[in-house]
A and B are shown apart, each in its own frame.
Chain A
Amino acid sequence: EVQLVESGGGLVKPGGSLRLSCAASGFTFSSYSMNWVRQAPGKGLEWVSSISSSSSYIYYADSVKGRFTISRDNAKNSLYLQMNSLRAEDTAVYYCARVYDYGARGWVDIWGQGTMVTVSS
């Protein structure tokens, strides 16, 4: 079964740091681009960051650029999101998401269950 399982969420003070992890199983992780997508409480979906299969290409939303770092370890079938200088507006459920690449583009086809990050003093 294809599965993505996030972990690492929790309560952190403004200005603090947190590292999210996503464990992948049931597919060849090293063949897929991966994303982080977040959803603030009661709000819509917001793309956060993307990393290509070999980590050659990395992209960030303007809202997190310079504060968040995406990475992956294909040997461990894992995706990570290092979040620094956290703000209240970063409070959200963070989803790990697999991208189905098709030609020059792709779409998200598999989502994890999400991990909650709360930034509050």
Chain B
Amino acid sequence: AIRMTQSPSSFSASTGDRVTITCRASQGISSYLAWYQQKPGKAPKLLIYAASTLQSGVPSRFSGSGSGTDFTLTISCLQSEDFATYYCQQYYSYPLFTFGPGTKVDIK
């Protein structure tokens, strides 16, 4: 089974910061990676698919990059509504999805 890891597991940041979250797959997954945002008590929301394609309606301050085993999610200018937990998910082994453990971004 493909295992996903994320780093860091959590961190504090300030509004306006540029933040980067890393996701790593235990084996090559090409670009079959999605990123989700989840706020407390809410369902996850799709941000990015195919490693770098922004889902319709998602602000352009979010971007994704990477292929193979190493991926990043970048928020160029952190806004108050971006404080949340972010998950990566591989779909290379579709339909057997695997999620990363999540990265919590909170207010410094």
Contact = CB atoms under 8 A, between A and B. Distances in A.
Given A95-B43, A113-B43, A114-B43, A107 B99 contact: no
Contacts of B96: 47, 50, 59, 61
27 contacts: A33-B95, A37-B97, A44-B99, A44-B101, A44-B102, A45-B36, A45-B89, A45-B102, A47-B97, A50-B96, A59-B95, A59-B96, A61-B96, A95-B44, A99-B95, A105-B91, A105-B92, A106-B91, A107-B46, A107-B89, A108-B46, A108-B89, A108-B97, A109-B46, A109-B49, A111-B43, A113-B43
Given A44-B100, A45-B44, A95-B43, A107 B95 contact: no
Contacts, number: 62
A35 interface: yes
Contacts of B89: 45, 107-108
A112 interface: yes
B73 interface: no
Nearest to A61: B96
B87 A45 contact: yes
Dominant secondary structure at the A interface? strand
B7 interface: no
Contacts of A37: 97
B51 to A, nearest CB: 11
A45 B99 contact: yes
Interface size class of B (residues with CB under 8 A): 20 to 34
B101 to A, nearest CB: 5
B98 interface: yes
B99 A112 contact: no
A46 B43 contact: no
Kindly name the residue among B89, B97, B99 whose own CB sees the greatest number of chain A CB atoms within 10 A.
B97
A44 B87 contact: yes
A3 to B, nearest CB: 11
A106 B99 contact: no
